Amino acid sequence: MNEADNSGKSWWQTLPAYLSAIATLIVAITGVITFIYIYHPVTGGKGKNRLPFPVDAYGNCTTPLQHDNMYQTGIKFQQGEGMSISANGDWVTSKGRPSTSTSDANGIERTIDLTGVGIPIGALVGKIGKGDVFFIGKKYEQQAKDSGELYLGYWDNYCPDNEGSVSVTVVGGN
Ligand SMILES: [Ca+2]
């Protein structure tokens, strides 16, 4: 009799904890699904059927002093909005010295930073509206740092000897 009473009491005391745990689980699962929807490059996000942009090492060359030639995507982001950017292909920062100056969108080497702002030469960079230039590389999944149109460029300190382009896919924004 006492044992039955105890187990009954124990069950009722434990119930709120179970409900709380289930509620927490539901919230967590919803969060994961939302995250996947926003960031997943194929199943989620706006603009998933957009064609890639050809960003050119020469035509879209970008330096600390010159952002005027960045590729204008026409896609506008709101600060905090999820964005997914991926880039395929190789480009060259010094024609005639391809073995040492060819790279993918991650840049020649993470340590080669001739411009002094922490971004390697040869990297794909972005800028949103009037915000600062930021490193994108081959794969970038972040929330937008600023609001405005997304611009893309090739990061360098000397542009006339550049060659090649990468194909950039952008998911998110309007
Ligand atoms: Ca160059």
Q: Tell me the CA–centroid distance for residue 68 and ligand 1, in Å.
A: 16
CA angle 16, 21, 26 (to 5 degrees): 125
For the four alpha carbons of 26, 30, 35 and 41, in that order, the dihedral sign comes to positive
Instruction: Give the model's pLDDT for residue 28.
Output: 85
Instruction: Give the model's pLDDT for residue 43.
Output: 45
pLDDT top residue among 28 and 36:
28
Amino acid at residue number 100: T
Instruction: Give the model's pLDDT for residue 30.
Output: 78
Q: Tell me the CA–centroid distance for residue 80 and ligand 1, in Å.
A: 33
pLDDT top residue among 130 and 5:
130
Q: Tell me the CA–centroid distance for residue 98 and ligand 1, in Å.
A: 11
Q: What is the mean pLDDT of residues 46-56?
A: 91
Q: What is the mean pLDDT of residues 153-165?
A: 96
Q: Tell me the CA–centroid distance for residue 157 and ligand 1, in Å.
A: 6
For the chain, the average pLDDT equals 87
